[in-house]
Chain A
Amino acid sequence: MALRMPPLRERHAERGATFTEFGGWEMPVEFDSIRTEHTAVREAAGVFDVSHMGEIRVGGPDALELMQRLTTNDVTRLSPGEGQYSAVVDDRGVVLDDTVVYDLPEEAGYLFVPNAGHDVRMYERWTDHREEWGLDATVEDATEEYGMFAVQGPDAEALLADAADESVRDVGRFEIATTTVADVPVLAARTGYTGEDGFEILCPADESKAVWSAFDCQPCGLGARDTLRIEHGFLLSGQDFDPEDEPRTPYEAGIGFVVKLDAEPAFVGRDTLAEGTDPEMRFVGVELLDRGVPRHGYDVADDGEVIGHLTSGTMSPTLDRPVGLGYVPAEYADPGTRVQVVVRGKHKQARISDTPFQ
């Protein structure tokens, strides 16, 4: 299958980006260096091309019911201009994807943002259930219509206020508003994946260049996006959970706070999840105390016996310490618990840590 390209693929290449395949897309992984880009976001601001994220629009009289029955958070709590973090689970309660659901401004319906390469599966899930339940709702996979950029960091608000207008300063966390950037109408959501303040901007794909160019800050690739989110313990879909390779419920994955068991009508998978609110395995931070770099797939051990494994890891550029994320039994999940991480056959000393890592 041919790789999907973000609208600004060539522009990024001219800027010196190197690329990687991610979720079926060819995306910039590094513009300058991961450390430089990471530091810019923590200390000032950086801009990421995240056009690989999907966009599914849902409208019509039964849009609310369709959204409510297919996502775990309570969509009825949203008013136009608000968003919420949520999960999509199957009837086993296993997370298929994590997403942000937006109730669009001006009652323009719902839009949710599946992870890279999941847009087609989510579109089919939504349309299949719409037919099964006989609901009157429109569902569109709008992924190719949008360019998406994340402006993140302590200076992000000022940068966007400059590029758009001062009203964006009033957009609260997880809210979404319409504005214009470089004369282009955009949606600006106060969301992100870095642990910093910032915005995610959705613009018409063919206006991507003008919008991207409006942000005078460090361009950042997926490499820094990964190190930034690991430091804050944010999940990466397809890696920290995956319906095939890493099947996990929201409670195991540490996002039980997005599961609203009492919301009506009930979401698919609710009854199974109601039984498993206190799971055996827990998603935790793991800090390596010995020299080395924790990585996806490494075993976690106690006294020589494998008890769990890591699903993500890196050398934290901010802390300059090796940090990872993974699953261990509940009795090991308390911060400070000593464990080992198996790196190329060697058992390295480590301890369970709260996230964000400090």
Chain B
Amino acid sequence: MSFFAVENLSRAFGGLQAVSDVSFAVREHSIHAVIGPNGAGKTTLFNLIAGSLAPDSGAIRLNGDPLQSLPPYKIARKGIARTFQNVKLFRHMSVLENVMLGRHVRSRAGFGAALLNLPHTWREERSIRQRSLEILDTLGIADLADADAVSLAFGKQRIVEFARALATEPTLLLLDEPAAGLNMHETDEIARLIADIRARGITVLIIEHDMSLIMDISDHIAVLSSGKKIAEGTPAEIQRNRDVIAVYLGED
């Protein structure tokens, strides 16, 4: 049984088969990438895995548990965190508060307990704050804790989003085009960060357009084209694959 697997996943929009019979497995503690030209169905695949879309058929499994058709918040509770392609931080909240929200799945205080401010809720609240500050510290953005999250530079926002995702202590981290909108320097920083995250024992699944980033950091790559998986293998294998070259050259 693989750690995380996508099995014969399909989804159509009207007449368009956006994702068609896609399967792949992700090994634990690896960095797995899904690439493909524009319109290959990457975003649809990502949304299916993250639970914002329901598949027409097929299965998604984490340690054998089916995830398909669960709402996103339940998927998050299973230990899967995600980032967004165009970064979605919470407006009207500071960087620290954004990261503290990441601790939501790791804390318990309910509506009633919160209204009455029972002792265990404020003790829990203190540990949420502490843990979140530690995470900001390890990512080197502790100085931004009190800044308004959405008014930061885009590159910084992306790192805050990583911090928020890490705060959930995920076993699997889904990254939706983490290099989109970043300059070369920032992309390098993100690459180091992703490698660092894997080193902590978190499995990473990246959907990405930026080939250089993927080739540098991934252990395993699946290639999508027109909704179908056309190749799979190590970066070296993918670079030699004729179908992949044809698809990417054809696009340019």
| A and B associate | no
